[in-house]
Chains A and B, each alone.
Chain A
Amino acid sequence: MAVQQGDVDFQARTFDYVPHADQRAGAPVRRPVAIVGAGPVGLALAIDLAQRGIPVTVFDNDNRLSTGSRAICFAKRTLEIFDRLGCGDPMVAKGVSWNVGKVFLRDELVYRFDLLPEAGHERPAFVNLQQYYVEGYLAERAAQLPLIDLRWKNEVVATQPHDDHVALTIRTPEGDYALEAGYVVACDGSRSAVRRHLGLESRGRSFRDRFLIADVRMAIDAPAERWFWFDPAFHPHQSVLLHRQPDGVWRIDFQLGWDADPEEEKRPERIIPRVRALLAHSPAMKDAEFTLEWASVYTFSCMRMERFRHGRVLFAGDAAHGVSPFGARGANSGVQDADNLGWKLAAVLQGHAPDALLDSYAREREAAADENIRYSTRSTDFITPKSAASRLFRDAVLTLARTQPFARTLVNSGRLSTPTTLHGSPLNTPDAEPFAGTMAPGAAAADARVTRADGRDDWLLRQLGDRFTALVGHDPAVEGELQDIAIDGFALKLLSIAPGPGGPALIDRDGDVARRYDLQPGSVVLLRPDAHVCARWRRPTRAQVEAAMRRALCTALES
């Protein structure tokens, strides 16, 4: 099931253009789903759909993976999604896991944070991994799934929506061809061609600042932590961010200010002295040899499309929304988009749910985009103050943070990506009984150590079904009540959880399931196919659980 880990040079890999019979068909061939763009979001969605039995056609205008580290930080929730897609293991094995961040003012440590301060989670808060590895492992996983038809060097040059399909024109090295798709998902990035074809825009706020990213190969000994400097002596009046990546490569982001000349700053003669200055500030690193792997100068915007669904065309990832890089909320939120859409599109295409379920994709992920934009805008405002007053308070916070614990909570070098809780989603059944803990309707399911009935230790999230799952605090009467539930063939998997051994239930080895979900005997927490909580009860009836499933599938008769 999972792909094999190996030392593949994904950066050098090219994917062959292979002519497809569709190009020679007399009339345009109809495909159920077309995904535009084979980046992390498009590939994740393609794998999810194929695993659910949906044939999917993916178009990419290039035949290479991305260049350089780019997205770099992949969050715990993203890794858990990749686990479900059968390719999390090689990513975590290859990536550099980290949980701790440090913030320096000038050369002094002012603040240290731990993003995963508790045990009982399979995945770390983050792994650092060059984006091309993530795309490469996703592409290898996709290649194992016969339902995925991935067409490299196939550029979508026209998108024409109709009532019952979307007409696409696709350009290949051999010329153009026409194809019809039941649904199109645009995962084609911030300059989305599909968005342009539909005459739509992503709107928001651009920031007047420039950043240099350098991927530097060097043999230095530093821990796997996120290090962020405000106003360091080696790069005065600006910020610097350092991350360790696999293969002895380090990612450094230098803030340059708006007046920097992007072309000039990309030249190695300009970059090398900056790196040398960073290394020279530390006794442990000052003599390190290094070579420059890749560099880029970027600016950014926080923006989103007004609506992520336009009939049969849906937008995901950077095509739908953009954030500043502080907080690693770009690729991570894009993969959450794919995770949200996959099961819904499959349920609609397989006749388990009405088309209206897709409206909930747009609604839930538009709210998520707003949250990500809010977080990343605040971070950017702290890192790049827009006014004299903003700078005054920023510097005051940093000064106080050295001695005053309260000020450390105000230091904002990036609020790092966590899964969005889908508050207020129409798919949630609101709580009718009191529950403690964070696993409220809308929350992404938390992991925990469990022991299986065969005595082996495993992880809770690895036990979930591919459709709905009910976590049940072991209780024979409730388990009997909820046997063999299925809504129009959409089945419920029961996962009984007991405090100790002696039955078919999973054992809550460290008590984390009970604690994190407030799961008592007879309690039931209903999880959607994307592992978000959608309902919970102390002792539900069969009818209550069926009604909650109908609500989450938009098949509820009552409004």
Chain B
Amino acid sequence: MPLITDAHLDAPDDFYEALIAAHDGLTEPESHALNARLVLLLANHIGSLEVLRGALAAARAGAAKTEQA
């Protein structure tokens, strides 16, 4: 199964608000740590290595674009 890149969230704005709220009051290192834990939790939920490799590649491509810009 390939990585889903079309809109798939039940309630995008509610999710985004909750995501930002999860970082409220954290220092930058604490935020990084939270993000790392979050990635690992979601990765476990996804399970499929193929999908995770697809996500890693798409995220990495974004980094390359940002560096260019």
Identify the A interface with B (CB < 8 A). Answer: 106, 375, 378, 381-382, 387-390, 392-393, 395-397, 399-400, 402-406, 408-410, 412, 415
Contacts and interface: CB of A to CB of B under 8 A. Distances in A.
Specify the main secondary structure of chain B where it touches its partner. Answer: helix
A389 B16 contact: no
B69 A400 contact: no
B61 A378 contact: no
A516 B38 CA distance: 41
Given A405-B5, A405-B6, A412-B13, A389 B26 contact: yes
Contacts of B19: 393
Nearest to B34: A389
A410 B13 CA distance: 6
B58 interface: yes
The 3 nearest A-B residue pairs measured at CB: A389-B23, A389-B31, A409-B12
Given A396-B62, A399-B66, A412-B13, A406 B4 contact: yes
Given A390-B23, A406-B6, A406-B8, A378 B16 contact: yes
B23 A406 contact: no
A106 B65 CA distance: 12
A111 to B, nearest CB: 12
A406 B5 contact: yes
A348 B15 CA distance: 43
30 contacts: A106-B69, A378-B16, A382-B16, A387-B20, A387-B23, A388-B28, A389-B28, A390-B20, A393-B16, A393-B19, A393-B20, A395-B66, A397-B16, A399-B65, A400-B58, A400-B62, A402-B65, A403-B61, A403-B62, A403-B65, A404-B5, A405-B7, A406-B8, A408-B7, A409-B7, A409-B9, A409-B12, A410-B9, A410-B13, A412-B16
Contacts of A388: 28, 31
A406 B62 contact: no
A403 B60 CA distance: 12
B1 to A, nearest CB: 15
A400 B63 CA distance: 9
Main SS of the interface on chain A?
Answer: helix
Interface string B28-69: 100100010000000000000000000000110110011001
A554 B65 CA distance: 60
A415 B65 contact: no
A378 B17 contact: yes
A399 B23 CA distance: 20
A405 B65 CA distance: 16
Contacts of B17: 378, 381
Interface residues of B, number: 26
B24 A387 contact: yes
Given A400-B62, A403-B58, A404-B58, A389 B20 contact: yes
A400 B12 CA distance: 15
Contacts of A399: 62, 65-66
A381 to B, nearest CB: 7
Given A390-B23, A409-B9, 18 more contacts: A106-B69, A378-B13, A381-B20, A382-B16, A387-B20, A388-B31, A392-B31, A397-B16, A399-B62, A400-B62, A403-B58, A403-B61, A403-B62, A403-B65, A406-B6, A406-B8, A409-B12, A410-B13
Contacts of A412: 13, 16
Contact of B9 (A381, A393, A395, A406): A406
Given A396-B62, A402-B65, A403-B58, A410 B4 contact: no
Contacts of B61: 403
A538 to B, nearest CB: 30
A396 B62 CA distance: 8
Given A403-B61, A405-B5, A410 B23 contact: no
A375 B11 CA distance: 13
A406 B10 CA distance: 11
B40 to A, nearest CB: 17
A392 B15 CA distance: 16
Contacts of A397: 16
A410 B9 CA distance: 10
A399 B66 CA distance: 7
A415 B59 CA distance: 26
A106 B66 CA distance: 11
B20 to A, nearest CB: 5
Contacts of B65: 399, 402-403
A382 B31 CA distance: 18
A381 B19 CA distance: 12
Contacts of B7: 405-406, 408-409
B22 to A, nearest CB: 8
B68 to A, nearest CB: 11
A92 B23 CA distance: 45
Nearest to B20: A390
B10 to A, nearest CB: 11
A327 to B, nearest CB: 12
Contact of B16 (A404, A405, A410): A410
